[in-house]
Structure 1
Amino acid sequence: MATQVVSQIMRRAEEEELNCGSGGGADNMLGLRIASIFIILVGSTSGALFPVLAKNSSWLHVPKSVFDFAKYFGSGVIIATAFIHLLVPGIEALESPCLPAGWSEYPYAFALCLLSIFLIFIVEVFAFRWGTHKLAMIGMQHDAHGHGTGSHAAHGPEGNVTDTKSSLDDSTDIEAAESTHALDTTHTQIVGVAILELGVVLHSILIGLTLAVSEEFKILFVVLVFHQTFEGLGIGSRLAFLDLPASYGWMRMAGAIMYGLTTPVGVAVGLAVRTTYNPESATASIVSGVLDSFSAGILIYTGMVELLAHEFLFNKEMMKGSTGQLCYAIGCMMLGCALMALIGKWA
């Protein structure tokens, strides 16, 4: 009997050592932790909603230079988020000494990031092919190298409406073709921004959960207010420049509000389970590591393809514009990337 008791105690000790303890998260400063739900809600929602409201409101007149700054600054924020705030924590979580030895025998974080990149690529390829096929059915062409104006958040088949008008004699057919072109372009844009928002939302829920139970609450709280506001500016600028028909306009607001809610929801869930949730456990490390690594792939693909390639290399306005305009856009992007990377020192 005594031998069995000793054996059970040793087994539990081994399990706790593997999971880095079985206790709950930090329980101090509960009032401030609850207040953080509303403070972060205001910051993240404001950051995401400002570009949307400013771009699409007739009563709020904001100079174009402000929009340009928000768009390119936000692009830099998203790219830094992918590498500094997602991939690095994903690697650390999946290489945690709390995990079984098998997790250290293969670079799972990089593999999941790579898998995510190719999955997103395949989704966009088929979405693009579908849109292109729909345009071909009505005799329209598309520009395979992106946009003419650079006003879109995600690439899509750009139809040559002039050529279409010359080939269609009936005005009703012309209107139908233009309507179909707009709808197909809208679909591919929505796919691109939905992919971006998916990666950001997963990340936001995880950091909210972490904030709720973290021992270093004060520092993390202050940093996350800036983190979520800057990231909201990035997602909001993408949403604001979506070229959507009036019937789809609600998607901009819905996307911004959904982003604003994710981190507060994560904090609320974390507070609800704070007495039992162990952020250092093997299960918590695996879940956060997998989601962070997968989200990193989403944002890396979005940042490199949708933002850098299509906002700069394949953007006719940017390539034909002045050198000063190009340098300003790159400078804004680098500033956003640098500030978000600096925040990674604390969060």
Structure 2
Amino acid sequence: MDAVVEELEHNHCDHHHVQNDYMGLRIAAIFIIAVGSMAGALFPVLARKSTWLHVPKPVFDFAKYFGSGVIIATAFIHLLAPALEALGSECIAEAWGEYPYALALCMLSIFALFIVELVAFRWGTAKLARIGKSHDSHGHGLGAHAAHGPETETPAPTNKEKEVTSDAESATSHNHGGMRTWSTDTATQVIGIGILEFGVVLHSILIGLTLAVDEDFKILFVVLVFHQTFEGLGLGSRLAYMDLPQRYSWIPIVAAIFYGITTPLGIAVGLGVRSSYNAESATASIVSGVLDSISAGILVYTGLVELLAHEFLFNKEMMASSNGKLAYALLSMMLGAGLMSLLGKWA
């Protein structure tokens, strides 16, 4: 009996049925999801830059906090859960089932990001200290608030310190008509948003590949249109609030467009290899599980540390705000997490 069950499992893993149904819609999905993804990611960026489109600040706040909830739910529901399933598949070697590798890889990703940020923060703080500036490691403005806790009182700068700071600012703005140039603070922002986008992009490519070959195409397609639009809104709301020098103002736009093309790219690749790609194979399960685990760690760290902690606990403006504003922010975040978690029922 055991031999029969083992044979059936083996056949299930080796079986590969080429999906040629809904080919027209599968191709159209490339463009439909591209529009939804780019609209979600680009709208906050372009709306904040626009001089004629006046979007009320509460709408921006909603997008920002809603996006935080989306990113956290994506990490747990859309990445970590599928990683556990993939690395627990009956189609891969039994050794993968002897240890919770998905959780271990997620934890490793979190610690790796923490160490990278810790080293970058120490280096940046030391560098800025030499020119007489304080440093906020998360791009909220130099000296805006403490990076990992409430800001303490600081003595007024002496005349000598003012001269050093003035000289440093002059050095960074020369030949640019007083405009700020690339600085450690700018680099920190770009690295932070780059880490967030890397985790989101990995996930987007994988789900695009899955959509191209999945048997339950129609349900997954509808869900992914909303999924990618919400996720794009979460990313775009963060891109929109990057405080960059004018000459680097193109970075958020390019990052939003890059996000928008990743899932369509995954779909196109999936359609191209659908005759040979078997989503149930051992190789596909291992690759998908490992990448999902790493991506989950990236988004867990980013969501909890960069978004929640710094938008709520260590944000002096939020701590001093009214109960109504705090409730609005929390409800927006929970709505994003709730809707994204609900989509996890189908995708």
The two structures have a TM-score, normalised by structure 1, of 0.88
Match of 2:276 in 1: 276
Extract structure 1 runs of 4+ deviating beyond 4 A: 13-16, 143-152, 177-182
Unmatched tracts of structure 2, length 5 or more: 174-179
How big is each residue's C-alpha offset from its partner over 1:18-50, in whole Å with a ceiling of 9 and x where there is no partner?
771242442211000000000000000100000
How big is each residue's C-alpha offset from its partner over 1:242-277, in whole Å with a ceiling of 9 and x where there is no partner?
111112111100110000000000000000011111
After superposition, the Cα gap between the structure-2 partners of 1:146 and 1:248, relative to the gap in structure 1 and judged at 3 Å, is: closer
1:225 to 2:225 alignment: yes
Of 180-189 and 300-309, more deviation after overlay is shown by: 180-189
Match of 2:94 in 1: 101
Q: Which of 145, 169, 180 is the matching residue for 2:163? A: 169
1:55 to 2:52 alignment: no
CA distance in 2, matches of 1:145, 1:205: 27
Matched-pair contact (CA < 8 Å) for 1:145–1:314: no
CA distance in 2, matches of 1:93, 1:172: 56
How big is each residue's C-alpha offset from its partner over 1:113-138, in whole Å with a ceiling of 9 and x where there is no partner?
00100111111111111211111111
1:40 to 2:39 alignment: no
Letter of the structure 2 residue corresponding to residue 66 of structure 1: V
Match of 1:246 in 2: 246
After superposition, the Cα gap between the structure-2 partners of 1:317 and 1:20, relative to the gap in structure 1 and judged at 3 Å, is: same
Structural RMSD (CA): 2.9
Unmatched tracts of structure 1, length 5 or more: 1-9
Matched-pair contact (CA < 8 Å) for 2:9–2:90: no
How big is each residue's C-alpha offset from its partner over 1:42-89, in whole Å with a ceiling of 9 and x where there is no partner?
000100000000111212211101100000000000000000000000
CA distance in 1, matches of 2:157, 2:288: 51
After superposition, the Cα gap between the structure-2 partners of 1:176 and 1:129, relative to the gap in structure 1 and judged at 3 Å, is: farther
Matched-pair contact (CA < 8 Å) for 1:44–1:229: yes
CA distance in 2, matches of 1:283, 1:112: 17
CA distance in 2, matches of 1:61, 1:289: 43
1:90 to 2:83 alignment: yes
Classify the secondary structure of the residue corresponding to 1:169. helix
Match of 1:122 in 2: 115
Matched-pair contact (CA < 8 Å) for 1:150–1:316: no
Match of 1:321 in 2: 321
Match of 2:176 in 1: none
- How many Å apart are 1:176 and its aligned residue? 3.2
How big is each residue's C-alpha offset from its partner over 1:132-167, in whole Å with a ceiling of 9 and x where there is no partner?
111111122235898589999x99xx9x89738762
Classify the secondary structure of the residue corresponding to 2:14. coil
CA distance in 1, matches of 2:296, 2:198: 11
Matches within 5 A, 1:208-219: 208-219=208-219
The two structures have a TM-score, normalised by structure 2, of 0.88
- How many Å apart are 1:282 and its aligned residue? 0.3
Classify the secondary structure of the residue corresponding to 2:90. coil
CA distance in 1, matches of 2:272, 2:144: 42
Matched-pair contact (CA < 8 Å) for 1:146–1:310: no
How big is each residue's C-alpha offset from its partner over 1:288-344, in whole Å with a ceiling of 9 and x where there is no partner?
000001000000000010011000000000001111111100110000000000000
After superposition, the Cα gap between the structure-2 partners of 1:219 and 1:122, relative to the gap in structure 1 and judged at 3 Å, is: same
Match of 1:68 in 2: 61
Classify the secondary structure of the residue corresponding to 1:135. helix
Matches within 5 A, 1:252-271: 252-271=252-271
Match of 2:206 in 1: 206
After superposition, the Cα gap between the structure-2 partners of 1:143 and 1:253, relative to the gap in structure 1 and judged at 3 Å, is: closer
Letter of the structure 1 residue corresponding to residue 247 of structure 2: S
After superposition, the Cα gap between the structure-2 partners of 1:146 and 1:235, relative to the gap in structure 1 and judged at 3 Å, is: closer
CA distance in 2, matches of 1:36, 1:53: 25
After superposition, the Cα gap between the structure-2 partners of 1:166 and 1:309, relative to the gap in structure 1 and judged at 3 Å, is: farther
Identity of aligned residues (%): 67
After superposition, the Cα gap between the structure-2 partners of 1:116 and 1:104, relative to the gap in structure 1 and judged at 3 Å, is: same
Match of 1:132 in 2: 125
* Alignment length (residue pairs): 332
- How many Å apart are 1:183 and its aligned residue? 1.4
Matched-pair contact (CA < 8 Å) for 2:121–2:137: no
After superposition, the Cα gap between the structure-2 partners of 1:203 and 1:143, relative to the gap in structure 1 and judged at 3 Å, is: closer
